[in-house]
Amino acid sequence: MITPRRKSTIACMILAAGKGTRMNSAKNKVLHTLLGVPMVAYPVESARRVGSSTIVAVLGHQMKEVAKGLADRFGADRVTVVEQKVQKGTGHAVRLGLGPLAGFKGLVVILCGDVPLLRAETIDALVAKAKKTGGLAMLTSVVMDPTGYGRIVRDDASKIQSVVEHKDADAAQRQIAEVNAGVYAAPAEFLRKATAKLSSRNAQGEYYLTDIVVQAAATIGVESVDVSAEEMSGVNDRAQLVAAEKILARRIVGEHMKRATFRAPDAAVVEADVTIEADAEIGRNVVLRGRTRIGAGARIDDGCILTNTVVGAGTHVLPYCVASDAVIGDNNKIGPFAHLRPGTDLAADVHVGNFVETKKTRLGRGSKANHLTYLGDTIVGEKVNVGAGTITCNYNGFEKRQTIIDDGAFIGSDTQLVAPVRVGKRAVVAAGATITEDVRDGALAISRAPCKQVDGYADRLAERYGGKKKATR
Residues that bind ligand UD1 (CB under 6 A): 15-18, 58, 84, 87-90, 92-93, 112-114, 149-150, 163, 165, 179-182, 208-210, 234
How, if at all, do strands 287-289 and 305-307 pair?
parallel
Q: Which of 22, 15, 20 shows the shortest CA–CA distance to 59?
A: 15
The DSSP H or E segment spanning 52 is none
Closer to ligand UD1 by CB, 113 or 389: give it. 113
Closer to ligand UD1 by CB, 149 or 262: give it. 149
Neighbouring residues of 153: CB distance < 8 A, sequence distance ≥ 6: 160, 161, 162, 163, 164, 173, 176
The DSSP H or E segment spanning 269 is strand 269-270
- Residue 447 Cα distances to 120, 213, 412, 438, 442, angstroms: 66, 85, 11, 13, 16
Q: Coil, helix or strand for 30?
A: helix
Closer to ligand UD1 by CB, 165 or 271: give it. 165
- In one-letter notation, the amino acid at residue 319 is P
Structural contact between residues 325 and 307, judged by C-beta atoms closer than 8 angstroms = yes
C-alpha of 95 from chain center: 33
Closer to ligand UD1 by CB, 182 or 364: give it. 182
Helical spans, DSSP H, in 50-100: 63-74, 90-97
Closer to ligand UD1 by CB, 17 or 439: give it. 17
Using CA atoms in the order 260, 261, 264, 269, what is the torsion angle rounded to 10 degrees? -20
Q: Which of 74, 56, 72 shows the shortest CA–CA distance to 17?
A: 56
How, if at all, do strands 37-38 and 33-34 pair?
antiparallel
CB of 29 to ligand UD1, least distance (A): 8
State the angle between helix axes of 120-133 and 41-49 in degrees (0 to 180), rounded to the nearest 10: 50
CB of 383 to ligand UD1, least distance (A): 58
Closer to ligand UD1 by CB, 89 or 106: give it. 89
CB of 366 to ligand UD1, least distance (A): 55
Q: Coil, helix or strand for 70?
A: helix
Q: Which residues are catalytically annotated? A: 371
Closer to ligand UD1 by CB, 176 or 372: give it. 176
User: Cβ-closest residue to ligand UD1?
Assistant: 150
Q: Coil, helix or strand for 265?
A: helix
- Residue 302 Cα distances to 84, 200, 342, 401, 407, angstroms: 47, 56, 22, 35, 33
Q: Taking the CA atoms of the chain, what radius of gyration do you get in angstroms?
A: 32
CB of 264 to ligand UD1, least distance (A): 34
CA distance 97 to 95: 5
